[in-house]
């Protein structure tokens, strides 16, 4: 029996529709792979979860839903900038069952446009995490973030990560996360990402952003940095995960990103699938 790939998502009802599009793209480009989807949430309705279950059964994917008790993160610093969902991915080691040893965490505002197996098989070389940095054209933000957070490594994007869950169970402590937020809240711009970098950046293996976490806003920067090699044809053949960072999102009518049409293609494909389930 072939090993299943474990995918982790943490979100609320507002991101269920983008999640379905992302999972549609994952299915379309990885039909030979068995996936277990782990959805950690706090208050998604049973009706919407059932609709997601029906879709994933159609895709041949296994859905596992973990509902976090309302009092589990009662002591967590929360506000609009600190939604509880941000804790779930960092604390996944204490939330996922013991038989889950590794997961690929995916933000819902992504598309998987090529096979993902190589990311699953990645040698973490003893690290807890693997993630990409978004360096832009000049990489000036690395220096800014290093000063702001007092770190001496790259600033990793937390939207796509490989997580060694077995290590996370012993090394990622929820109280450390709480303490960091309480101590540095005035300096945190992207709370969960900042916390991840501050506490665990030195235990993170860097993976190529052009392949595993392609920021769709930065296509010109990728093209320029590669001296013209990373054009659209290269992306179609080599990039695995497109990440629609920032706003507007591709499902918004104001979006006119060069990758918006591709996103809308998968959105329409999802619609046709749902009409025939």
Which residues 6+ apart lie within 8 Å of 69 measured at CB? none
Query: What pLDDT is attached to residue 85?
Result: 77
Q: Give the β-pairing of 35-41 and 110-112.
A: unpaired
Omega prior to 15 cis, within 30 of 0:
no
pLDDT, tens digit only, all 277 positions of the chain: 468 999 999 999 999 999 999 999 999 999 999 999 999 999 999 999 999 999 999 999 999 999 998 777 766 665 565 567 777 898 899 999 999 999 999 999 999 999 999 999 999 999 999 999 987 544 445 545 554 556 666 789 999 999 999 999 999 988 898 888 888 777 777 777 888 898 999 999 999 999 999 999 999 999 999 999 999 999 999 999 999 999 999 999 999 888 999 999 999 999 999 999 9
- How far apart (Å, rounded) are the C-alpha atoms in residues 71 and 92? 16
Q: Give the β-pairing of 62-67 and 35-41.
A: parallel
Q: Give the β-pairing of 156-164 and 214-215.
A: unpaired
Query: What pLDDT is attached to residue 151?
Result: 65
Cβ-contact 41, 5 below 8 angstroms = no
Compute how many other C-beta atoms are within 10 angstroms of the C-beta atom of residue 12.
13
Query: What pLDDT is attached to residue 33?
Result: 96
pTM beyond 0.75: the answer is yes
**Largest Cα–Cα separation, the chain:** 53
Q: Hey, what CATH class is 5-276 in? A: alpha beta
Query: What pLDDT is attached to residue 154?
Result: 75
User: Which of left, alpha, beta for 150 (phi over 0: left; psi -120 to 50: alpha)?
Assistant: left
- Integer angstrom CA distances of residue 227 from 44, 220, 221, 224, 230: 46, 11, 10, 5, 8
Query: What pLDDT is attached to residue 171?
Result: 94
Using only the alpha carbons of the chain, give its radius of gyration. Answer: 18
Cβ-contact 107, 159 below 8 angstroms = yes
Element (H, E) at 28: helix 16-28
């Amino acid at each position: 029996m072939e090993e299943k790939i474990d995918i982790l998502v943490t979100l609320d009802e507002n991101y269920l529709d983008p999640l379905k599009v992302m999972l549609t793209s994952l299915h379309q480009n990885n039909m030979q792979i068995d996936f277990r989807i782990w959805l950690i949430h706090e208050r998604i309705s049973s009706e919407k979860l059932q609709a997601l279950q029906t879709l994933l059964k159609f895709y041949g994917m296994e859905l596992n839903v973990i509902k976090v008790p309302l009092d589990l993160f009662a002591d967590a610093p929360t506000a609009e900038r600190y939604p509880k969902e941000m804790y779930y991915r960092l604390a996944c080691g204490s939330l996922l069952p013991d038989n889950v040893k590794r997961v690929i965490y995916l933000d819902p505002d992504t598309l998987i446009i090529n096979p993902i197996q190589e990311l699953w098989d990645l040698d973490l070389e003893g690290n807890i995490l693997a993630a990409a940095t978004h360096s832009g054209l000049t990489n000036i933000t690395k220096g800014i973030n290093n000063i702001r957070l007092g770190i001496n490594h790259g600033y990793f994007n937390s939207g796509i990560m490989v997580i060694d869950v077995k290590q996370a169970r012993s090394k990622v402590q929820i109280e450390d996360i709480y303490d960091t937020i309480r101590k540095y809240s005035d300096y945190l711009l992207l709370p969960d990402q900042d916390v991840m970098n501050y506490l665990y950046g030195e235990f993170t293996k860097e993976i190529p952003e052009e392949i595993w976490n392609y920021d769709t806003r930065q296509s010109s920067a990728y093209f320029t940095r590669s001296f013209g090699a990373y054009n659209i044809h290269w992306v179609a053949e080599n990039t695995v995960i497109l990440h629609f960072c920032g706003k507007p999102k591709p499902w918004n009518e104001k979006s006119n990103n060069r990758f918006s049409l591709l996103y809308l293609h998968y959105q329409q494909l999802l619609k046709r699938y749902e009409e025939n389930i």
